[in-house]
Structure 1
Amino acid sequence: MRIATFNINGVKARLPRLIEWLEETRPTVACLQEIKSQDEGFPYEEFEKIGYKAIWHGQKGFNGVAILADGVDPVEAQRTLPGDPDDEHARYLEADVNGVRIVCLYLPNGNPVPGPKFEYKLAWMERLHIRMRELWALEMPVAVVGDFNVIPEDKDVWSPAAMAADALMQPQSRDAYARLLGDGWSDAIDTLNPRGGVWTFWDYQAGAWPRDHGFRIDHVLLSPELADRLVAAGVDKEYRGREKASDHTPVWVEIRD
């Protein structure tokens, strides 16, 4: 079973690249972030043409998440992150696929620091912490995947100094992410690449892609029930270099049946 995550940065703008990636790599589950589409405008028919079923939580102009499954219907389990009834951002979706609970998330960026956006980010991470503890208690295979907007350690960025003032690298952001791992979740990419140097995002500005000035903010966290079945994890880096690409690249894990 291959579980993948891809911040697509506009599902309509990148649809040819997205279909291309799905057909070439054929993940069992593909979680998308920043679909930037209202629910009624999500192009689910294009995915059905190539054999994928989908559920999605959209929002006009920004945010938005979706879960695609190859040949089966994802069974929706949770549509929003609990804990704040006034939070209307489309950033969270859960579904069951082939006996695995899939959590697709798009965590707030948090910039500028300090400010209300950073406070919202930290509050969102605390709500996520609570929800992941609830999922842990289910004692079932769970994968929490998506754009976490957190650079966990200095080894996960091309230049720690260049990103030092960014919300993605603040001690509070890193501490909140570390608390998730402290509960027993496994960071799949880090597990298999402990020396770091693996990037999932390259900005469109300042020649970041050709200079390989990237960092790792797209993560796959596995419950023990899945971590014990992890056989491979990787980043589809080449897709960042294609025409009209997203500024993120797909991240995936292979899970033994």
Structure 2
Amino acid sequence: MKIATWNINSLNVRLPHVQDWLAKEQPDILALQELKLDQDKYPAAAFQLSGWHTVWSGQKTYNGVALISKQPPEEVHTGLPGLPDDPQRRVIAATINGVRVVNVYCVNGEALDSPKFDYKRQWFAALTDFIRDELTRHEKLVLLGDFNIAPADADCYDPEKWREQIHCSSIERGWFQTLLGLGLTDSLRQIHPEGAFYTWWDYRGAMFQRKLGLRIDHLLITPALTETLQDVQVDLEARGWERPSDHAPVWAKFD
């Protein structure tokens, strides 16, 4: 089984990229974030005509998440129970081929002194509660998506420049560790304990070409999936395509 995540940064702009990537890589499950499309504008037919199943939670301008899969999704859920009035479409979960898949586009937070950071704090607390509950029912679970957190200095091209800045602050890294403490494993670091594996590069300053990025897109997995984990890779080729997303796809392969 091959499970992937990709912040596409506007599906309207990059639908051909997603279609090409699906055809080439043939993942069993692809989680997309930052659709930037209203619910009724999502191009479901474009995927279904190629034999894919898909569920989504859309939102214009910002946010929006989707799951695309070879097998039909079941038990679909959107949003976080701990934030029932949250208008932002950031979470979609489904059971696909026996695996509970929770796709998240986590809050950016803007800056540590921003009101948006308070929202990020509340959001991660609600996410943690949701995952804790999901784990009581699903032995095979993957929490994946754009977390907007680089978990360690090794996940940042310039740790000193980013120290205690948004994405790299000790408090955000603490939230990430709390998720791992629920019984999840950072799949990429399970396979590659050391080294730089960035998943996001600023469009400005030729950061991708200069290999200056952050690792903020993750697949966190339960022990039942860790036991069968074979490989995890960041698809740098897709980040180099014309008019790319600022994120690259990340995929994990299981036996």
Deviation at 1:139? 4.3
2:5 corresponds to 1:5: yes
Q: Which residue of 1 aligns with 2:15?
A: 15
Aligned to 2:36: 36
Correspondence list, 1:80-91, <5 A: 80-91=79-90
Q: CA deviation at 1:183?
A: 2.1
CA distance in 2 between partners of 1:76 and 1:29 (Å): 15
- 2:171 and 2:69 map into 1 onto residues whose CA distance is 34
Q: CA RMSD in A?
A: 1.1
Q: Which letter does structure 2 place at the counterpart of 1:205?
A: R
Contact residue 164 and residue 170 of structure 2 kept, 8 A? no
CA distance in 1, matches of 2:20, 2:76: 28
Residue equivalent to 1:137: 136
Q: Secondary structure at the residue paired with 1:14?
A: helix
What amino acid sits opposite 1:133 in the alignment?
R
Specify the alignment match of 2:228 in structure 1.
Answer: 229
2:42 partner amino acid: F
1:69 maps to 2:69: yes
Please list, as runs of the form range in 1=range in 2, the aligned pairs for 1:165-184 lying within 5 A after superposition.
165-184=164-183
Give me the whole-angstrom Cα distance separating, in 1, the residues matched to 2:113 and 2:189: 29
Distance 1:139 1:160 in 2: 36
The one-letter code of the counterpart of 2:26 is R
Verify the 8 A CA contact 1:30 1:69 in the aligned structure 2: yes
- In the alignment, the residues of structure 1 paired with residue 143 and residue 154 of structure 2 have an alpha-carbon distance, to the nearest angstrom, of 22
After superposition, the C-alpha distances for 1:15-49 in whole angstroms (9 at most, x for unaligned) are: 11111111110100000000000010001111112
How far apart are the structure 2 equivalents of 1:48 and 1:127?
A: 33
The residue aligned with 2:48 is 48
Give the match for residue 203 of structure 2. 204
Q: Deviations over 1:225-248 (max 9, x none)?
A: 111111111111111011011000
1:31 alignment partner, SS class:
strand
4+ residue runs of structure 1 moved beyond 4 angstroms? none
Cα deviations across residues 183-226 of structure 1 (Å, max 9, x unaligned)?
22000011111113101011101110110101100000001111
**CA positional deviation for 1:164:** 2.5
Tell me, what secondary structure is at the counterpart of 2:94?
A: strand
Identity of aligned residues (%): 38
Q: Which amino acid aligns with 2:174?
A: D
Match of 1:125 in 2: 124
CA deviation after TM superposition for structure 1 residue 76, in Å: 3.8
Asked if 2 retains the 8 angstrom alpha-carbon contact of 1:110 and 1:118, the reply is yes
**What TM-score, normalized by structure 2, do the two folds share?**
0.97
CA distance in 2, matches of 1:91, 1:204: 23
Gaps of 5+ in 2: none
TM-fit CA distance, 1:112: 2.2
Against the structure 1 CA distance between its residues 139 and 63, is the aligned structure 2 distance closer, same or farther, given a 3 Å change threshold? closer
The structural deviation recorded for 1:128 is 1.0
Three-state SS of the structure 2 residue aligned to 1:95 is strand
1:111 counterpart = 2:110: yes
Q: CA deviation at 1:93?
A: 0.4
Is the 8 Å Cα contact of residues 152 and 169 (structure 1) preserved in structure 2? yes
